[in-house]
A = this chain, B = another copy of it.
Amino acid sequence: MQLFLAEIQGNLFELHTDEVNHCVRVLRKSVGDVIQFITGDGNLYEGSIVTITKKSVSGTWTKVQDQFGDVGYDLTIAIAPTKNMDRIEAFVEKAVEMGITRIVPIICDHSERKIVKTSRLKKIALSATKQSLKGALVQIDEPQSFDEFIRQPHENLCIAHCETDTSKTPLKHLLIPNSATTIMIGPEGDFSKSEILRATKAGAKPVHLGSSRLRTETAGLVAVAVVYDTLGK
């Protein structure tokens, strides 16, 4: 199934500008053809093309399916961006395939990278959303500081860290069916002791992700996989 991203207004749809070339020039769709599209709201739509111009494809639509590709859980991962952007990009792609809800880049005491282009991450996320057949787009926030993040209210907030002098619970033991989950993943070099203290004071539960020493993006992927496997449909 070839999915496009579009917007709907009234009974009309219009493809996202970035999709027009692929639709018309690559796939050679023309007036009268039927295409499948998503808008990011969770549904799957079918559109019948009425008008094609140089920069637009539009037509009429019907809704085909609610909660298209819905995985059945609500997961936010707040993750320190890796020094090497390829690594955080791979995380975003695979986390979207597994159906993550929201990704928040957080800047921590030991963060080597403090700037992240979320536009590129969003592009990768859109491609993974279409490829893995989902109707909902992941929310990718602009980077924020660790403290900014923990000041906000979060459902079932967990912090995955490597410090050995505090007790930690395996992540899966803290997951609650039908409740949202928020997991914080630290940078290369881990969260600082002071950050761990501030997070637990703010209500975060310390978790561990097994006995291996994992890279940041691998820890993120393991966290998503555990939630996907434990709470997913």
Interface residues of A (CB under 8 A from B): 69, 71-72, 90, 93-94, 97-99, 131-134, 170-172, 210-215, 218, 221-222, 225-226, 228-229, 232-233
Task: Quote the shortest CB–CB distance from A170 to chain B (angstroms).
Answer: 8
**In-complex Cβ contact of A211 among B94, B214, B233 (8 A):** B233
A221-B221, A229-B222 as given contacts; A212 in contact with B69, CB under 8 Å: yes
Chain B residues closer than 8 Å to A94, beta-carbon distance: 215, 218, 221
User: What's the Cα separation between A133 and B215 when bound, in Å?
Assistant: 11
Do the beta carbons of B210 and A233 come within 8 Å of each other? Answer: yes
CB pair B226–A212 under 8 Å, yes or no, is: no
The reply to whether A210 and B228 form a contact with Cβ atoms under 8 Å apart is: yes
B212 lies within 8 A of A98 (CB): yes
Closest B residue, CB atoms, query A171? B229
The 4 closest A-B pairs by CB, nearest first: A225-B225, A211-B233, A94-B218, A210-B232
User: Which residues of chain B come closer than 8 Å to A93, judged between CB atoms?
Assistant: 218
The CA-CA distance from A200 to B93 in the complex, in Å, is 31
Residues of B within 8 A of A214 (CB): 97-98, 132
Task: Report Cα–Cα, A189/B107, bound state, in Å.
Answer: 39
How far does the Cβ of A103 sit from chain B's closest Cβ, in whole Å?
Answer: 16
Q: Would you call A210 and B97 a contact (CB within 8 A)?
A: no
List, in ascending order, chain B residues with CB within 8 A of A170's CB. 229
Q: What CA separation (Å) do A212 and B133 show in the bound complex? A: 8
Task: Report the separation of the CA atoms of residues A102 and B228 in the bound assembly, to the nearest whole angstrom.
Answer: 24
Task: Let me know if A98 and B222 touch, CB within 8 A.
Answer: yes
Residues of B within 8 A of A210 (CB): 71, 98, 228-229, 232-233
